[in-house]
Amino acid sequence: MTEPAHFPLSAVVGAEALKLALCLTAIDPKIGGVLIEGPRGMAKSTLARGLADLLGEGPFVTLPLGASEERLIGTLDLDAALAQGKAQFSPGVLAKADGGVLYVDEVNLLADHLVDLLLDVAASGTNRVERDGISHRHSARFVLIGTMNPEEGELRPQLLDRFGLNVALDGQPAPEARGQIIRRRLDFDADPEAFCLQWAEAQAQLRARCQAAREQLTQIALDDQALAQITERCFAAGVDGLRADLVWLRAARAHAAWRGAGQIEAEDIEAVAEFALRHRRRETPQPPVHSPAAEPQGGHGSNTRQGQGAWGEMPPQATATGARREVPNWAKKP
C-alpha cells in the first residue's frame, strides 16, 4: 500500500524558526526533538511530518491521544511463551518508532501514566515489557516531536524538559502570507502527487543540505570556548539542571554544520539560544555573580521571550539572531 503524500517542508510558507529547528534535529537527533507550541489551525502537524523526509528511511510513528499503555509499550503473549518456551512480543508504538520519529499531537493532554512511561524510555533508549515474570527488552531510540496548544493546558515539567528545542508559532500571519498558505494548501489537496513533484527539487536540496551537515557534524568540535559562553548564559537565565547546556551546545554545533562551517561561532550560539532556553527559563532569573565572566550576554538572561514568527513575518536571520516581538498571551506561562 502506497504511503500518502505529505506536504513538503520546503513548500511551507514562513515558519522559518520552526523549519530551522526541525532541520537541526534532523542533523543531530541527539538534540532531543522539538516541542511545537501554537494555537489551533497553525498546521503544526503538517510541519512536524515534514521532518520525516529529512531523516531518510526512519519511520514516522504517531502516538494517538487516547492510546492505551499496551498500545504504547507493546504486549507479551503468555500462552505462546508457555507453548513455545519463549516470549512472543507484539510491538507497540515505541518499538515501531525505533530509529525514526515519534510524533505526539496534543502532547499536553497525554495521560499521566503514559507520560511516565514515555519519560523512562526517552531517557534510557530501551523499552522493557514485563508480565507475570516474563520480560522482553528492545531498543527504542527516536526523535520526539510534540505539538500543543497552551490554551488547552500546560505540559508536565519533566516532559517539557525532555524536548531538546521549543518553538512557538505566531497565530497572526500577514494577509499576503495567509493567501500563499491557503493557495498552496488548496493546490496540495487538489493533486498531492503533482504538488510534491512541483516541489521535488527544492525538497531534494533541503534533504541534501541536511545530509551534508550530518556528515560534517563529527568534524566540528564541541569546544570549551563555546561551552563557556553557553554555561554562563544558562546560569544567567536560571535554568534548572544541565540539559539546557548540553542541548544548546549540540544545537549550536548542528547550526555550524548547517552553515557549512568548521567550528562553532558566536552566530551559531545565538541562532539557537531561544530554542534551548524558551521552555527552561525560570520566571525569576538567577542573580548575576560579581564576576565579569558570569554576566549574561546580549540581555538573554532576562525573562523576555522571543516571539517565533510562524508564517513569514520575520526572515530567518532576524529570527535566529534574537530579534524580539511582543509575545501573544497564549505563549505566556502563568
Q: What is the mean pLDDT of residues 49-62?
A: 80
CA angle 200, 202, 203 (to 5 degrees): 60
Which position has the grid cell 518499538? Answer: 95
Fold of 33-163: Rossmann fold (3.40.50)
Please give the CATH superfamily to which domain 175-323 belongs: Magnesium chelatase subunit I, C-Terminal domain (1.10.8.80)
Provide the pLDDT confidence category of residue 308 given band limits of 50, 70 and 90.
very low
What are the backbone dihedrals phi and psi of residue 209, each rounded to the nearest 5 degrees, phi first? -65, -40
**In angstroms, rounded to a whole number, what is the distance separating the alpha carbons of residues 227 and 102?**
29
Query: How many CB atoms sit inside 10 A of residue 334's CB?
Result: 4
Q: Which of 60-64, 121-125, 147-151, 306-310 bottoms out in mean pLDDT, i.e. has the lowest?
A: 306-310
List, as own/partner pairs, every contact residues 72-77 make where C-beta atoms lie below 8 angstroms and the sequence separation is at least 24, other chains included. 72/114, 72/117, 72/118, 73/117, 73/121, 73/127, 73/129, 74/127, 74/129, 74/136, 75/129, 75/131, 76/129, 76/130, 76/131, 76/134, 76/135, 76/136
Residue that is written with C-alpha cell 506561562 in the block: 333
Confirm whether 33-163 and 175-323 share one CATH topology: no
The pLDDT value given to residue 15: 83
Per-residue pLDDT at 2 exceeds 70: no
Report the amino acid identity of residue 239. Answer: V
* Confidence (pLDDT) at 328: 39
Residue 240, pLDDT score? 85
Catalytic positions:
243
| Structure confidence by residue, pLDDT tens digits, 186-217 | 999 999 999 999 999 999 999 999 999 999 99
Q: How many helices (H) and strands (E) does the chain have?
A: 15, 9
Average pLDDT over residues 135-146: 87
Task: Give the residue, 319 or 155, on which the prediction is more confident.
Answer: 155
Grid cell 513575518 in the structure block, residue: 313
Domain boundaries, given as residue ranges, for the chain: 33-163, 175-323
The predicted-structure confidence for 12-55, as pLDDT tens digits, reads as follows 888 889 999 999 999 998 898 899 988 777 777 788 887 877 87
291 pLDDT above the threshold of 80: no
Render pLDDT for 148-182 as a digit per residue (tens, 0 to 9).
888 888 888 888 888 999 998 876 778 888 899 89
Higher pLDDT, 268 or 107: 268
- Residue 223: pLDDT over 70: yes
pTM value is: 0.77
